[in-house]
Amino acid sequence: MEASLDDDKAESIVVIDLSGKTDIADYMVVASGTSQRHIGTMATHLREKLRANGFKGVTVEGESQSDWVLIDAGDILVHLFRPDIREFYGLEKLWGDSKQPNEQTQEVLA
């Protein structure tokens, strides 16, 4: 997953460990794109790679506008934002303890 975002030149990728905070997912990934087209392209590529890697029931919301796209891959939620929208909603502040990917989270995102 991270490779897909890196390949598509996602900006400011942050992984938030949700363990013990909620039952909706284990990890949340937040990244920015430079435009609506960029975000839409990242979402399309990521959805395709998730499905190709065996993730079942991957759903995507917000792709028609591409200001904020949510990809629900079960235990991993991915939020792709335009920078101004990302700042407005402040998910990293809301969920706290955000961090850059480390070995443990890179394993989840591989």
DSSP state of 73: -
- Domains belonging to the chain, first-starting first, are 2-95 (3.30.460.10)
pLDDT for 97 = 54
pLDDT in tens, the chain (110 residues): 667 887 889 899 888 888 888 888 889 999 999 999 999 999 999 999 999 988 888 999 998 888 999 999 988 999 999 999 999 998 888 776 544 444 444 555 55
What is the C-alpha separation between 96 and 17, in angstroms, rounded? 9
Identify each DSSP E strand in 20-100 by its residue range: 27-32, 59-61, 68-72, 76-81
pLDDT for 21 = 81
Contacts of 76 (CB under 8 A, 6+ apart): 1, 25, 26, 27, 28, 29, 108, 109
